[in-house]
C-alpha cells in the first residue's frame, strides 16, 4: 500500500477490463487517477471505477477521450494538468480488437485497430512526455499483447499493432531513460475481459488448448505488474516487456 502516494496517473481505457483494474489499484496505492476512456461517464463500468477510486479517498478525473484523436488527447492532458498540476504515470492501455482473416479484413478495421492501439499510444505519449521530461521524472507503461510477439490467426492487424507497441516502447525507453523517464510494457496473455469475450468460440478453444497453464487469466493477475512498474521497486527497468501470459510466450 501507498507505493504511489502523491502521484498522478493517467490510465487510458480505464473504464473497463484491465485498465479499470489498474486505475483502481493505483488509487489504492495512493495515486490520483485520470481515467481517459472513449465511453461516456454514465456507462455502468465508468460509474463503478469512479466510485471505487473515490472510496479510496483519492481524486478521480474522468475525461471522455478517443485516444486516436489528437485534439481530444491534447485536451485530456491539459485537463489533467489543470486539475492535478503534474503527471507522473501514463498507462497506455486503451485497445480494441476485431477478428478476420487478412484476405477478408476490412481496410477500415485495419485502420481503426492501428489508430487506437498504436497511434493512440503514440499520441498520449507525445503530449504527456514533455511534462515528464520538464519535471525530470515519469513512468510510461504500454499495454501490448503476447500476440505482438507470436501473432495469431485472424488477428494480423491486432498483432501488428501490438508488435508496434512493443517496438515503440523499446525505442522510446532508449531516448528518455537518462532523463529519468522510464518506459516499459506489459504483454498479457488472454485475460477474461469483454475484449476476450468478443473473440469467437473456435479461437478461444484453440488458444486454450495451446496455453501451458490451461486457463485464461484474470485482470487481477495483470494489475500487480502495472503497480510494480509504476513504483519505486522498478527503478532499473528500462524498455522491458513483462509477460503475465500463462506461458503463451516464454522469452
Which CB sits closer to ligand NAD, 114 or 177?
A: 114
Interior CA angle at 90 toward 125 and 251, to 5°? 90
Report d(CA 57, CA 128) in Å as an integer.
Answer: 25
Which CB sits closer to ligand NAD, 120 or 164?
A: 120
Q: Which of 163, 185, 188, 243 binds ligand NAD (CB under 6 A)?
A: 188
First vs last C-alpha separation in the chain: 30
65 binds ligand NAD (CB under 6 A): yes
Q: Which of 31, 123, 143, 172 binds ligand NAD (CB under 6 A)?
A: 143
| DSSP letter assigned to residue 151 | -
158 is catalytic: yes
249 binds ligand NAD (CB under 6 A): no
| H helices present in the chain, as ranges | 17-28, 44-55, 70-84, 107-114, 120-135, 147-150, 156-176, 194-197, 201-210, 223-230
Secondary structure class of 8 (helix, strand, coil): strand
C-alpha cell at 118: 498504436
Which CB sits closer to ligand NAD, 114 or 133?
A: 114
Which CB sits closer to ligand NAD, 8 or 146?
A: 146
35 binds ligand NAD (CB under 6 A): no
Interior CA angle at 213 toward 208 and 218, to 5°? 80
Closest distance of CB 64 from ligand NAD, Å: 8
184 binds ligand NAD (CB under 6 A): no
90 binds ligand NAD (CB under 6 A): no
Of 62, 149, 158, 237, which one is the catalytic site residue? 158
Q: Which of 194, 202, 210, 233 binds ligand NAD (CB under 6 A)?
A: 194
Which CB sits closer to ligand NAD, 123 or 176?
A: 123
Helix (H) or strand (E) holding 37: strand 32-37
If phi > 0 it is left, if psi is from -120 to 50 it is alpha, else beta; for residue 202 that is: alpha
52 binds ligand NAD (CB under 6 A): no
Binding site for ligand NAD (CB under 6 A): 12-13, 15-19, 37-39, 65-68, 93-96, 116, 120, 143, 145, 188, 190-191, 193-196
Amino acid at each position: 500500500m501507498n507505493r504511489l502516494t502523491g502521484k498522478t496517473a493517467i490510465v487510458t481505457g480505464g473504464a473497463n477490463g484491465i485498465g479499470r483494474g489498474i486505475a483502481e489499484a493505483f488509487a489504492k496505492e495512493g495515486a490520483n487517477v485520470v481515467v481517459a476512456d472513449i465511453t461516456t461517464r454514465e456507462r455502468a463500468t465508468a460509474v463503478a471505477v469512479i466510485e471505487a477510486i473515490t472510496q479510496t479517498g483519492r481524486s478521480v478525473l474522468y475525461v471522455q477521450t478517443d485516444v486516436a484523436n489528437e485534439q481530444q488527447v491534447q485536451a485530456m492532458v491539459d485537463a489533467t494538468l489543470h486539475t492535478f498540476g503534474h503527471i507522473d504515470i501514463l498507462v497506455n492501455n486503451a485497445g480494441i480488437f476485431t477478428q478476420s482473416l487478412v484476405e477478408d479484413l476490412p481496410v477500415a478495421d485495419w485502420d481503426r485497430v492501428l489508430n487506437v492501439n498504436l497511434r493512440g499510444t503514440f499520441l498520449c505519449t507525445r503530449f504527456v512526455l514533455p511534462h515528464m521530461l520538464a519535471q525530470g521524472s515519469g513512468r510510461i507503461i504500454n499495454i501490448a499483447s503476447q500476440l505482438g510477439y507470436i501473432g495469431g490467426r485472424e488477428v494480423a492487424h491486432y498483432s501488428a499493432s501490438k508488435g508496434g507497441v512493443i517496438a515503440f516502447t523499446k525505442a522510446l525507453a532508449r531516448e528518455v531513460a537518462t532523463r529519468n523517464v522510464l518506459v516499459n510494457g506489459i504483454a498479457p496473455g488472454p485475460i477474461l475481459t469483454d475484449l476476450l469475450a468478443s473473440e469467437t468460440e473456435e479461437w478461444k478453444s484453440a488458444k486454450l488448448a495451446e496455453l501451458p497453464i490451461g486457463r485464461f487469466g484474470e485482470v487481477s493477475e495483470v494489475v500487480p505488474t502495472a503497480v510494480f512498474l509504476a513504483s519505486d521497486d522498478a527503478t532499473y527497468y528500462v524498455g522491458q516487456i513483462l509477460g503475465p501470459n500463462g506461458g503463451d510466450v516464454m522469452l
